């Protein structure tokens, strides 16, 4: 068996800590792999950005990251980035396999019984043509409500650092997801931002009725694992000598709570 701990790492990229919801699943499925977690916190939140500027930023940053870490694959556990930049990233860096994260509209459409599905995401993801195309392709027979939240990603960041979240704020942000129509009710809410699973217990508590909260983290981790099985093992690079999982924050500024959070995920700060 090859020693994958000392081979090229899996790179994970999000605007903040949301991608950690996918990292924890990926670790379970691929305990032998090494991970580099990148948070573009200097630009957080991505949900508020104009598309051309954000696209250019992400493509640029990847140039540096791929040079520096030479990953076996790059995973983007961020809907806001994937629905915008995945195509350009693949075109710009054809030697790197990319795994994106896009709203789980297809599985939601397959699973719903009432036919009323809500997609909870950042304002950016809700606006994207990519998201609209997913609905047109997979959910024609459902009523899909797109709910753009300006606050939830921030609330999740604060919750993971400080251990506290304003439940009333969570209630207000998720409320538009719940629809009653002709005796039917929304029965699935797609968590289309990787930050949101951190708040799912608060969402359950403040929801007006029980629904299935669809978190795609495990599916993304599985896709990454499958793709890795087909990727030739790249020879170790200087970075590969470091036998630990690392976190990089683009702002270069990390407060105590962030450091502690990264440590709790077993990530050393670079």
Contact 13, 74 (CB under 8 A): yes
Residue numbers at the binding site for ligand DGL (CB under 6 A): 14-16, 18, 44-47, 78-80, 122, 125, 153, 193-195
Residue 130 or 185 having the CB closest to ligand DGL: 130
Could you say which of 78, 81, 117, 214 is catalytic?
78
Whether 177 is a known active-site residue: answer: no
Find where tokens 């019984």 sit: 113
Residue 8 or 75 having the CB closest to ligand DGL: 75
Whether 142 is a known active-site residue: answer: no
- Which residues, at least 6 apart from 164, have a Cβ–Cβ distance to it below 8 Å? 158
Please count the residues of the chain: 270
- Which residues, at least 6 apart from 33, have a Cβ–Cβ distance to it below 8 Å? 4, 5, 9, 10, 26, 27, 228
Least separation in angstroms between CB 64 and ligand DGL: 19
Rounded Cα distance between 212 and 48, Å, is 27
DSSP state of 15: S
Least separation in angstroms between CB 96 and ligand DGL: 20
Residue 47 or 71 having the CB closest to ligand DGL: 47
Structural element, H or E, at residue 143? strand 143-148
Could you say which of 38, 135, 193, 247 is catalytic?
193
Residue 15 or 250 having the CB closest to ligand DGL: 15
Least separation in angstroms between CB 139 and ligand DGL: 19
Positions marked catalytic: 78, 193
């Amino acid at each position: 068996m090859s020693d994958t701990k000392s081979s090229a790492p899996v790179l994970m990229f999000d605007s903040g800590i949301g991608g950690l919801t996918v990292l924890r699943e990926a670790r379970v499925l691929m305990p032998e792999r090494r991970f580099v977690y990148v948070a573009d916190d200097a630009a957080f939140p991505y949900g508020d950005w104009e598309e051309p500027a954000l696209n250019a930023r992400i493509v640029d940053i990847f140039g540096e990251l791929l040079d520096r870490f030479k990953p076996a694959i790059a995973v983007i556990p961020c809907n806001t980035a994937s629905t915008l930049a995945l195509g350009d990233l693949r075109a710009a860096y054809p030697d790197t396999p990319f795994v994106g994260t896009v709203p789980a509209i297809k599985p939601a459409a397959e699973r719903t019984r009432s036919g009323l599905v809500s997609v909870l995401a950042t304002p950016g993801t809700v606006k994207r043509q990519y998201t609209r195309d997913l609905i047109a392709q997979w959910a024609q027979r459902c009523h899909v409500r797109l709910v753009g939240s300006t606050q939830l990603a921030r609330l999740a960041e604060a919750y993971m650092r400080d251990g506290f979240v304003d439940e009333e704020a969570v209630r207000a942000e998720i409320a538009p997801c719940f629809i009653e129509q002709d005796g039917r009710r929304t029965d699935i809410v797609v968590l289309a931002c990787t930050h949101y699973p951190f708040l799912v217990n608060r969402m359950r508590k403040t929801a007006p009725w029980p629904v299935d909260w669809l978190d795609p983290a495990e599916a993304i981790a599985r896709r990454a694992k499958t793709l890795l099985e087909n990727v030739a093992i790249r020879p170790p690079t200087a970075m590969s000598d470091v036998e630990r999982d690392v976190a990089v924050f683009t702002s270069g500024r990390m407060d105590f709570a962030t450091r502690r959070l990264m440590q709790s995920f077993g990530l050393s700060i670079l």
